[in-house]
């Protein structure tokens, strides 16, 4: 199984994932640090993953795109590209919440601390997320920057199951649990004052397409790929974006009469 994953919920990133013999690995990936140049860098970045995208693209088994939550302009860049490639190459398209990618990283990092390589790959036969003593408190929160002095956040169990969210709001809305991601780093003082624990190692972390693709490979495997592209726990979605806010652009009202 070969998957192209794309995520532009924060930074622009894409990855090519291979799943063989019960294990998923990242074959190639790109990611930027800039959160405001998605449209300019995404197409060249995706192209760089292939030797010959025209020939290799139609041979993909799936395209997975991060559906946010994220800002309107950046998020739609990735979703529009994923939909276009899915149509042009006739490849199934699946959506996944971008915060799931960071949850994969957090629990995978804990596995690395315990002596495994789960942070770099995923065992399809046994893995979803990778729980262990890295999260002695059990539940944890992933939070990313929503700008406007707010965060996008979701709550996960110690096993990586989505329990609540996604939400957008001030950091004071986040439960008093361990919090990971850029949102935690930006509002560490507020979060710690209300009883949350902020891990410095994840204080600048953003969702990436590489982690999203590894997580998607596990979910697709468990869903009986190449069977129906959905699971009982709802980890796979369609490609509808999770903006969580109304667009700033509004349809103008009728013009007022000058006389």
Q: Which residue range is the domain that position 39 belongs to?
A: 2-99+208-237
CA atoms within 13 A on the CB side of 2: 11
pLDDT at 3: 96
Q: Is 242:67 a contact under the CB 8 Å cutoff?
A: yes
Report d(CA 68, CA 79) in Å as an integer: 10
Helix H segments across 29-187?
Answer: 38-47, 53-56, 72-89, 99-113, 182-186
- Check whether residue 164 and residue 138 sit in a common domain: yes
Q: Is residue 47 part of a domain?
A: yes
Query: Mean pLDDT in runs of 10 for the chain (259 residues)?
Result: 95 93 87 75 93 95 96 90 97 96 82 44 47 57 95 92 94 95 96 94 93 91 61 71 74 65
pLDDT at 207: 95
Q: Would you state the structure tokens that stand for residue 2, as one six-digit string? A: 């070969």
Q: Helix, strand, coil proportions of the chain in percent (round to 5)?
A: 30, 25, 45
Q: Is residue 243 part of a domain?
A: no
- Check whether residue 95 and residue 112 sit in a common domain: no
CA atoms within 13 A on the CB side of 101: 30
> Based on the structure, what is the number of domains in the chain?
2
């Amino acid at each position: 199984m070969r998957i192209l994953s794309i995520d532009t919920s924060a930074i622009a990133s894409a990855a090519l994932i291979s799943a063989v013999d019960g294990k998923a690995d990242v074959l190639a990936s790109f990611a930027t640090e800039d959160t405001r140049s998605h449209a300019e860098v995404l197409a060249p970045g995706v192209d760089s993953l292939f030797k010959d995208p025209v020939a290799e693209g139609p041979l993909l088994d799936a395209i997975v795109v991060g559906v946010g939550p994220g800002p309107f302009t950046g998020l739609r860049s990735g979703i529009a590209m994923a939909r276009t490639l899915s149509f042009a190459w006739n490849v199934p398209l699946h959506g996944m919440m971008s915060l799931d990618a960071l949850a994969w990283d957090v629990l995978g990092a804990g596995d690395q601390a315990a002596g495994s390589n789960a942070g770099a790959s995923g065992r399809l036969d046994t893995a979803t997320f990778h729980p262990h003593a890295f999260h002695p408190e059990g539940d944890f929160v992933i939070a990313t920057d929503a700008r406007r002095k707010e965060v996008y956040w979701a709550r996960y169990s110690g096993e990586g199951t989505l329990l609540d969210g996604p939400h957008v709001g001030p950091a004071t809305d986040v439960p008093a649990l361990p919090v990971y991601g850029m949102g935690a780093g930006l509002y560490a003082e507020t979060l710690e004052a209300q009883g949350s624990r902020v891990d410095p190692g994840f204080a600048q972390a953003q969702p990436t397409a590489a982690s999203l693709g590894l997580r998607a490979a596990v979910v697709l495997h468990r869903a009986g790929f190449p069977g129906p592209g959905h699971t009982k726990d709802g980890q796979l979605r369609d490609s509808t974006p999770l903006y969580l806010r109304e667009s700033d652009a509004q349809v103008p009202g009728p013009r007022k009469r000058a006389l």
